[in-house]
Structure 1
Amino acid sequence: FTGVDYVKLYKDLAVNDNIEIYLTNNPEKIVERCKEVLIANIHDREYLRDTFQRLGAKNVYTIGDILNQSVDGSGFNEKYGLYGSNLATETSVKLFPRNSQDFVENLQTKLKDKYNKDIEVMIYGDGAFKDPVGKIWELADPIVSPGYTKGLEGTPNEIKIKYIADTELSHLKGEEASEAIRNKISEKDSNLVGNQASEGTTPRQITDLLGSLADLTSGSGDKGTPIVLIQGYFDNYATE
């Protein structure tokens, strides 16, 4: 999709052709070739670390072990290292945010003081979705949100309106059906896990949902949107 030849890109980094490239998804084949491994995989990095160590690799690191502390006054991310970083210039990178929790809580307090509004705040990076055409996994960060306020914890607690309407409320029509659905929503249990009424809803973390929405809105190209304001997310069909 990008038109970049990544094999050539990496080979061009060689000095006197000192880079050999082997393509495999088999950790055993990798350990046959080299006993020192640097893992760049993101979401299965700890699994792969354990796998390579079990297979006898001598030194196993992830890129989270690079710049996880300051080097000669450089920036660092103690938790994620180079994970979530972006190229800034030819000789520098922007690291994944740190001190994020303090930032969002302080910003929430300032917004409350200035506008007397209770506003939830989160820092987001990549959205948690996969492109259905190119099969590209968008989430190239270690997590969607490194910092968010307390009201964004957990997963949505929703009933499947279509399921309810097609089963126990199938005999109702028009406004009578609408009112019955609103009552169902208002009277739902505080925890619908395992309840058939929630069947067909996909359990995701609220921050993953909102981070994906924000990422799709702002994009990473020409839009240049630094802040995304989301309104009405916690409203539902029963909200007056």
Structure 2
Amino acid sequence: MSKLGTIALGIKAPIIKPEDDICKVVIESLKEAVKEDGLRIDDRDILCITEAVVAKGQNNFASLDDIATDVKRKMGKGKVGLIYPIFSRNRFAILLEGIAKGVDELVLVLSYPKDEVGNSLVKDFHKYHLDLNKQSYTVKEFKEVIPEVKHEFTGVDYLELYESLGKGKITIVLSNNPLEVLKYTDKVIVGSIHNRNELKEMLLLNKAKKVITLAEILNESVNGSGYNSEYGILGSNASTSHSVKLFPKRDQMLIERIQEAALKEFGKNIEVMVYGDGGFKDPVGGIWELADPVVSPMYSKGLEGTPNEIKLKYLADNDFKGKENIEDLVKERIKAKEEELKGKAESLGTTPRRYTDLIGSLADLVSGSGDKGTPFVLVKNYFKNYSE
């Protein structure tokens, strides 16, 4: 019996260019790994492809002018509010610049001391004494209490950076009450990622006249630009100083083409998924890495669902404690386990998260976001358990 469990292998690939055939690049990269490194492709291996290369292959880019045009068309003239974006140069600063170009005046409401995913506006916030009864602060009022507002890791003063991007159009307000924006305008863009729909509903229930989320900006093409019908400009990254790479458009045919090509080339039925940010939290910085709207925007049917697992420790410490043939007993219990273990004692402590969230997070950790050059990750033995 093999002693190896789940294995995740980064697969190097050439630099992806706009409109490259991603299916062809993937299969050629696997063939090289088989030839050069002795890699073996097996049934139910999981091929994970980073969202960035898929978006590049789709040529899914947009300019600041495209963003500005869509914002102007959807929000009209006058003052517009924008609430609770994340603090990020790569993820949001360039979007803010485009949004500001499309409005007459922008009231930017920021949460403090952290954004939605845990980026701190200021280090050691607990050492300062803000008036908790105060509904909002201007930048001047905030800095009177906390003079140095810099991100712990990047050293960026986001109040200064974000204000500078509007060329005099942006007024920043700091408040943890999302309804505070309605004191300035009844037209609002929700900048949050994961709770955007709840905030939109709250604003509309409190008499806001026009509310959209970032998912509704560039959810269709503007003058031939890239777009994403599901997520708009959510999940985008800075590409150049005047353009962004958007989150990839859903393309189930690409997933199926890669599966078919792998079967033809290697004779194996594999699973395929596209992944973005992993759904994990940095224990030091307290930052939740998931700045994309989802971990995986597209995947093969075999990756639907959640694990149905028995906790080995529970069996060893309870049902089979002191038994001489404990390994055999555990294996037999695994083989005989029910199809649905939710709520059962033997499943206590297992993680009923979606396969795509678990595997996508693993792939993101393996590929990294720097210079490893491994935009593809092959995960092996993921669906095997102790009894196999």
Q: TM-score, normalised by structure 2?
A: 0.59
Aligned residues of 2:233 and 2:247 also touching (Cα < 8 A):
yes
Which of 45, 56, 73 does residue 207 from structure 2 map onto? Answer: 56
Q: Which residue of 1 aligns with 2:380?
A: 231
Cα deviation, residue 98, structure 1 = 1.1
The number of residue pairs the alignment matches comes to 236
Aligned to 2:270: 119
Q: Which amino acid aligns with 1:148?
A: Y
Give the aligned partner of residue 76 of structure 1. 227
Cα distance in 2 for residues equivalent to 1:169 and 1:100 = 48
Q: Do the aligned partners of residues 98 and 14 (structure 1) sit closer, same or farther apart at CA in structure 2, a change above 3 Å counting?
A: closer
Could you tell me how far 1:226 is from its partner in structure 2? 1.2
Among 98, 108, 112, the residue aligned to 2:259: 108
Higher strand share: 2
1:6 aligns with one of 147, 158, 178: 158
Which structure is higher in RCO with an 8 Å CA cutoff and minimum separation 6? 2
| 1:27-74 superposed Cα distances (whole Å, 9 cap, x missing partner) | 222222322111110111100000011111121111111111111111
- State the match for 1:42 in structure 2: 193
CA contact (8 A) 1:127 1:139 kept: yes
Question: Helix, strand or coil for the counterpart of 1:236?
Answer: coil
SS at match of 2:361: helix
CA distance in structure 2 between the partners assigned to 1:6 and 1:102 by the alignment? 41
- Give yes or no for the alignment of 1:210 onto 2:339: no
Q: Provide the rounded CA distance (Å) in 2 between the counterparts of 1:229 and 1:26.
A: 44
Amino acid at match of 1:81: G
**1:90 partnered with 2:238:** no
Asked if the contact 1:86–1:95 (Cα under 8 Å) also holds between the matched residues in 2, the reply is yes
Alpha-carbon distance between aligned partners in 1 of 2:310 and 2:297, rounded to the nearest angstrom: 29
CA distance in 2, matches of 1:67, 1:28: 25
Choose which of 159, 170, 181 in structure 2 pairs with 1:30: 181
- Gap runs ≥5 in structure 2: 1-152
Shift of 1:149: 0.6
Q: Write the distance in 2 (CA, Å) between the matches of 1:99 and 1:202.
A: 27
Q: 2:320 aligns with which of 151, 154, 169?
A: 169
TM-score w.r.t. structure 1 length?
Answer: 0.95
Using the alignment, how far apart are the partners of 1:104 and 1:137 within structure 2? 28
Distance change >3 Å, CA 75–CA 18, structure 1 → 2: closer
Are residues 1:221 and 2:377 paired?
A: no
Task: Please say if residues 190 and 212 of structure 2, whose CA atoms lie closer than 8 Å, have aligned partners that are also in contact.
Answer: yes
CA shift for structure 1 position 137: 1.2
Aligned to 2:373, what secondary structure does the other structure show? coil
Partners of 1:26 and 1:101 in 2: how far apart?
A: 40
In 1, the alpha carbon distance for the partners of 2:166 and 2:276 equals 31
Q: Secondary structure of 2:376's partner?
A: coil
CA distance in 2, matches of 1:6, 1:223: 29
Counterpart pick for 1:152 among 299, 303, 322: 303
Deviations 1:158-209 (A, max 9, x none): 0011011100111214xx1111111111111111112111111121000000
In the alignment, the residues of structure 2 paired with residue 90 and residue 79 of structure 1 have an alpha-carbon distance, to the nearest angstrom, of 25
What CA deviation, in whole Å up to 9, does each residue of 1:90-126 have, x standing for no partner? 1111111113321111111111111110110000001
Are the aligned partners of 2:307 and 2:351 in contact in 1 as well (CA < 8 Å)? no
TM-superposed CA distance for 1:135, in Å, is 1.4
Which residue of structure 2 lines up, in the alignment, with residue 178 of structure 1?
Answer: 327
> Could you tell me how far apart the structure 2 residues matched to 1:98 and 1:210 are?
20
What is the one-letter code of the residue matched to 2:203? F
